[in-house]
Amino acid sequence: MSSNDSDSDVEMEPKPSTSKGKGKKKGDDGKPKRKRLQDYLDEKAAREVAERAEEQLRQRRRRGLADDEDDPEETTFPMINPFNFVKNKEIRHKQFKRMQTAKRKEEKATKKTRKLEGIPTNPTHTIESMREKDETTVANLEGEDQEEVMNDLANDEFCEYYQKSYEPRVMITFNATPHHVTRKFASLLQRMIPNASTFRRNKTQLKRVCKSAIRENFTDILVVNENRKKPEGLLLIHLPEGPTAHFKISNFKDLKDLKRKESDISTHRPEVILNNFTTRLGLTIGRMLGALFHYEPEFRGRRAVTFHNQRDYIFFRHHLYEFDKNGKRVKLRELGPRFTLKLRSLQVGLFDGKCGDYEWMITNKRHQMEGRRRFFL
């Protein structure tokens, strides 16, 4: 027998297929798997529940009831989600997506009609808009019922500054061995605040620093405290008779973080914007922060410093604004730095850590009678 005949008699065994099956599952005959009877019953039950809910909603609207209003004559049953009857995950997901798109289209259509009819939109409720009313809130300083507030402001510690009787001089200091981040923060404050100087107090007590600053005709002292190699606290002392405010610093962003250069900050005196200081305590803090800067800004520099109070957090921003050719639109460019202040305490007079008289102090835990919507500034 020849070799060719022997080779032809050998049967080749089929190799097992290594490729994974793609697409839908198929039966033994290669056809796609059909739906079960239970799947059709589930879909039918879901449609019946949805139709029943829509019919009940139409009946309520005919009686003039709102969608969220309780009907005393109606027997309420627990809400059943119609999609729970659909056992197939893919079909349930498709139906849910279809319902979402229909709801989105309906909301878009109602918003368009409301805009065409000129109906104002409902205001969104925030914690700031739902804040509890404070007894010391000052709505309008020029009102006839604000004579007491105006008299207090005319005779407080900052009245001479707002009467433009002196130019502010600010001393910025820190501890003996500050970290380079703290030194950078102090140098940026010196760059932004006109007529400010930076000094290292080493281990000198703050009471002696205050006496020497009064002797050198400084009007304010800024003490930068650090914790874990970062600026953590800011002590603001108004000279010569106080008050003293202690702030917590958070979310400090350097010029490097904002991709800015220190050369972008010009030497012109900036404009100061104090926003949303509404209570008597807030007015004191706002006037205290405004007294750090010169009362006559140089508009040629187009610099603006903003202290924005929101939920007792004071956000600091530093911008450069520029008008277009028509003079109608304004472009803002943030110069930096950026940080947030939180008032911890307000002390009457100069700083005294042992026997100081505190006008206001924050508590670590809110009192049981205080709510989350009560703010003090």
**pLDDT, tens digit, 9 for 90 and up, residues 245-262:** 999 999 999 899 889 988
The predicted structure's pLDDT at residue 6: 45
Alpha carbon dihedral 150, 154, 159, 160, in 10-degree steps, equals 150
Q: How many residues does the chain have?
A: 377
Tens-digit pLDDT profile for residues 307-343: 999 988 999 999 999 888 887 888 999 998 999 999 9
Rounded mean pLDDT of 280-288?
92
Higher pLDDT, 151 or 75: 151
- CA-CA distance, 227 to 131, in Å (whole number)? 32
Q: CA separation (Å) from 141 to 132, 165, 280, 314?
A: 20, 22, 11, 21
**Range in 27-41, 130-144, 350-364 the model is least confident about:** 27-41
User: Does the bond joining 243 to the residue before it have cis omega, within 30 degrees of 0?
Assistant: yes
Q: Tell me how far apart the alpha carbons of residues 21 and 15 are, in angstroms, rounded to a whole number.
A: 16
Owner of token pair 């104002």: 120
pTM for this entry: 0.68
Residues with Cβ within 8 Å of residue 261, at least 6 apart in sequence: 255
Tell me which of 50-59, 272-281, 295-304 is least confident: 50-59
> Could you give the maximum distance between any two Cα atoms of the chain, in Å?
128
Q: Is the peptide bond before 16 cis (omega within 30 degrees of 0)?
A: no
> 111 or 13, which is more confident?
111
Q: Is 340 helix (H, G, I), strand (E, B) or coil?
A: strand
Q: What percent of the chain lies above the pLDDT cut of 90?
A: 34
| Average pLDDT over the chain, rounded to an integer | 83
Task: Provide mean pLDDT across the span 7-27.
Answer: 47
Topology given in CATH for the domain delimited by 146-361? Rossmann fold (3.40.50)
Closest by alpha carbon to 191, among 260, 251, 264, 252? 264
3-class SS letters over 37-98: HHHHHHHHHHHHHHHHHHHHHHHHHHCCCCCCCCCCCCCCCCCCCHHHHCCCHHHHHHHHHH
